[in-house]
Amino acid sequence: MIPVLSAFFFVGQRCSRHVANSFRTAILTVPDAQNCSVTKPLIRSLSNWASTFGYAGEPAASSGTRHAVGLFGRPELTRPEDWQRLADETEDRCDMLLAEVLDTAPEDGVEVVALIDEMSDQLCRTYDAAECCRNVHSDPRWRAAAGKVCVQLGEYISRVNHHEGMYQRLSGALAAYESSLAALEKRETPRLGPRQLAGWCRESVMVAHKLKQDMEQAGVHLSSESHRARVAELAAANGHFGAAFNTALTDPSKVGRVRIALGRSASLEPSNVAALMVSEPDEQVRKKIYMAAGKSPACNQHLLEDMVATRWELARVQGYPSYAALRMAGGSLARTPGAVVAFLEQLAADVRPMAEQELQALRRLKAASSDPSPSGATIHAWDVEYYAARARQLLITSQPSAVLRYTVVPSVLTGIRHLLWRVFRMEWRISEAAPGEGWAPGVLRCEVEHPELGPLGVVYLDLGDRPGKYPTAVTFPITCGREVPPTRGGGGRQLPVMALLASASGTCPTTGKPAMSYRELRVLLHELGHCCHNLLSRTKYQHLWGTRCAQDIVEVPSHLFEYFASDPRVMAVLARDRSATAAGADGAMEDGEPLPEGLLKELVAGRSVTAALELQQQLVLSLVDQWMFGEQPPGGPYAEVNASVGTPEGTSARATTISEIWRQGTSPELRVGHLTIYGGAYYGYVYARCLAAQLWRLTGLAEAPLDPVAGNLVRERLLGPGGSLEPLDLLAGLAIGRAAGTSLGSTSDPAAAAAAAATAAGATPGAVAVAARQRRLEPWQVARLRQRGLDKALASPAEGGFLQALQGGFAPRSEPYLELIRAGRGGA
């Protein structure tokens, strides 16, 4: 999961989330390196894995090779009080940059874009890091200090988003560029000279349009001062719903407990509820827990109602019919809520027969139970997970702990290191975080490099279990990747920094070391997909970096990575019992005993036993999300707003409460944090599943999952562009085929463009390489190549098409994913 922090353009839609001496903060940059030397990756100083993950109750010891540094490797963050100073300094730097923006003229062109993106980066470096800290740090003082900074910078961002002077400079620069292009087409004298026009590239134009659109979504263009002020107020409130909602889920005092028997009670924390739904044999106890959890935490009910009302009004004041429409207006594959709903309803109809078969199988299990239920063989909501677990037990003949021999954490990390090297040529060096660098015992630091691209960035791994830990697996951005302009003393790249949180809740039965369940390993691969998306993104601007792409594309790489967990060739690398090898965690890929292929088949089959029912649940949540953030959302707070803003002719606000959607006396939405983070865009998960099933085959990974040729295609066409290509262009490039080279990028990239053109003409791989060195594509050639890709993507399934046009937008074809479910390989 990638947290989406706010709708402010400075804090990026995908935050998963230097002027003179003022820019001497700890910014991590490197020169562009095509031939830098790199050492082989190591896992250093991790001999005592129990203490590393804090199981001994003590902080992780230093490796001895790194000195104490600040939080996230930033020397300026050594104590909670530093957050306030850092926030104040960030505002000062951004004020200086704003002054530079206001001093520009339209003829300065792309420099305006660069300055605003610089402001965005400065704010994100502090806001994203603070957002991560307030969600993950084990010390409440750090969380509180970071939370205050998020509020402070959120208010600053809101003010800057409504700065008319900056909006006018950006609009003027973009208008000067576009009018000059129009003049050239008419063979008239353009406003901008050749050198000024040459400064603009495809990515610069895209960023300029997105920045302008984001500012307009903040209301800066509204003629009414009262409307501008109201949008600012609403946007500021909208930026904090997600954090408050998810924080309540980890607060024992807010989730509460339920009495389930004489002298027995149970915590309603999400992880405990999930465990009891699977393991508790007494149906009445399961029902009590389910019903109590479905009304907890009560505070989230008010948060959710306020959030829906705020987002609805935010969209309406800006002229959008709904918040979902506003979210899709920023550049998405779906484009319209109508396309999304049509896709979801069709997929729901297609999967229903398979879901009914799975439900019938669960009924038979319940009917055969040795302790018949008073409700007979009816499957209730509190029965699904329990009997699904029983169905998995019938398929998996091995002991539940059998897999833990092969998924000891250091061995898994060794396997991941080899996998990412084989497929993407990424080299991971893993060590313990230095004192003060991490936020909890056992945090690991991973430095990542590529033999051609050079250093790629840093990923912090938090795999230990502890009370109060963030409730779900997640990747938090801390520093964005981008080019550092030479005018700012750079000329290289700012390296991204991320925090990946996942779980390793098991224990190896032979060594006693922390180990992962099969599900936890799959979730780790999912989050690694997000990390690799960010690490391998090569965008010029941070505004388009990595996961800051379209909302219905962002989850595609992570779902693609999940397929590694189902392939025996990959699992033979990832899951091995290396305990008997002398090299231990630093051993070779083939060291140790691999996970038996028969056990993997059982695990995959067990995971898929209720795949159709689980997909149905995702479809319900996606449709509820479209209703909650649609034109007529549920709830009662809309009467006054309708009166002031107006309602569509022939319609009226609904009085139905959000909880009444479920019609069962509970409020499951109180625990679905993704509905706050991905409001109006939750459908992206279902889109991603269907697209990933297509791309697994299209890229060649299904045929050869360890093939670097397939990995290079994924790197260059899916991961590298980040958000610098519109979704249709990104997918058109993938549709052309694995032999076509790289993405449909800028015409200023002769290697990428010529390779694609040569392949489109039927050239051999050798000829493609020659063409890449010698040719440059003309714009008409790029347009023709793009159309060829679109035609292939939108072709019929029999002809290899994987997209469909629906109600003014686009959606993936679902047939391949449904085929996987039918074959028992589509589990979530």
How many angstroms separate the Cα of 45 from the Cα of each of 421, 430, 463?
A: 21, 9, 17
Least Cα distance to 679 among 619, 624, 614 occurs for 624
| Residue owning tokens 């309603």 | 268
Q: For 338-347, 394-403, 424-433, which range has the lowest pLDDT when averaged over its residues?
A: 394-403
Q: Who wins on pLDDT, 656 or 507? A: 507
Residue 742: what pLDDT?
42
DSSP SS3 for 565: helix
d(CA 428, CA 456): 10
d(CA 789, CA 736): 5
Q: What DSSP line would sit under 51-88, residue for residue?
A: HHTTTTSSPPPP-SSS----GGG-TT-SSTTHHHHHHH
d(CA 464, CA 600): 25
Q: Does the pLDDT of residue 65 top 90, yes or no?
A: no
CA dihedral 390, 391, 393, 397 (to 10 degrees): 160
Q: Tell me the two tokens of residue 695.
A: 């791309």
Give 697-705 contacts, CB < 8 A, sequence gap 24+: 697/816, 698/734, 698/735, 698/737, 698/738, 698/800, 698/802, 699/734, 699/738, 700/738, 701/560, 701/563, 702/563, 705/423, 705/563, 705/564, 705/567, 705/569, 705/570
Residue 797: what pLDDT?
86
CB 625 within 8 A of CB 679: yes
Rg of the chain over all Cα atoms, to the nearest angstrom: 26
* DSSP-assigned beta bridge partners for residue 514: 507
Q: How confident is the model at residue 634 (pLDDT cuts 50, 70, 90)?
A: confident
Q: How confident is the model at residue 823 (pLDDT cuts 50, 70, 90)?
A: confident
Residue 287: what pLDDT?
94
**pTM confidence score:** 0.85
Quickly count helices (H) and strands (E) in the chain. 31, 16
Helix axes 337-367, 384-395, angle to 10 degrees: 70
Residue 672: what pLDDT?
85
| Residue owning tokens 């896709």 | 343
Q: Tell me the two tokens of residue 775.
A: 């040719």
Residue 458: what pLDDT?
98
Least Cα distance to 736 among 813, 812, 816, 800 occurs for 800
Q: In what order do the strands lie in the sheet with 482-483?
A: 29-30, 493-494, 482-483
Q: What DSSP line would sit under 655-710, residue for residue?
A: ---GGGGT-SS--GGGG-THHHHTTTTTTHHHHHHHHHHHHHHHTSTTT-TT-HHH
d(CA 12, CA 549): 10
Q: Does the pLDDT of residue 559 top 50, yes or no?
A: yes
Mean pLDDT over 142-152 rounds to 96
Residue 664: what pLDDT?
54
Q: For 35-44, 192-201, 224-233, 502-511, which range has the lowest pLDDT when averaged over its residues?
A: 35-44
DSSP SS3 for 593: strand
Q: Does the pLDDT of residue 442 top 80, yes or no?
A: yes
Q: Does the pLDDT of residue 805 top 90, yes or no?
A: yes
- The enclosing H or E element of 478 equals strand 474-479
* DSSP-assigned beta bridge partners for residue 482: 494
**Which residues lie below 8 Å from residue 154, measured CB to CB, with a gap of 6+?**
6, 8, 11, 127, 236, 239, 240
Q: How confident is the model at residue 780 (pLDDT cuts 50, 70, 90)?
A: confident
Q: Does the pLDDT of residue 14 top 80, yes or no?
A: no
d(CA 697, CA 709): 14
A 10 A CB-CB count for 85 gives: 12
d(CA 105, CA 211): 17
* DSSP-assigned beta bridge partners for residue 449: 427, 455
pLDDT in tens, 315-363: 998 889 999 999 998 789 999 999 999 999 999 999 999 999 999 999 9
Residue 787: what pLDDT?
86
pLDDT in tens, 356-398: 999 999 999 999 886 655 556 889 999 999 999 999 999 888 8
Residue 632: what pLDDT?
82
Where are the strands (E) in 557-613, listed by range? 576-577, 593-594
Q: Does the pLDDT of residue 771 top 60, yes or no?
A: no
Mean pLDDT of the chain: 83
| Residue owning tokens 């960030």 | 90
Q: Tell me the two tokens of residue 811.
A: 């959606």
Q: For 582, how many CA atoms within 13 A lie in the half-sphere containing its CB?
A: 0
Residue 667: what pLDDT?
78
% residues pLDDT > 70 (the chain) = 80
| Residue owning tokens 């910014």 | 27
Give 221-226 contacts, CB < 8 A, sequence gap 24+: 221/167, 222/317, 222/318
pLDDT in tens, 677-698: 889 999 999 999 999 999 999 9
pLDDT in tens, 489-547: 667 899 999 999 999 999 999 999 999 999 999 999 999 999 999 999 999 999 999 99
A 10 A CB-CB count for 781 gives: 17
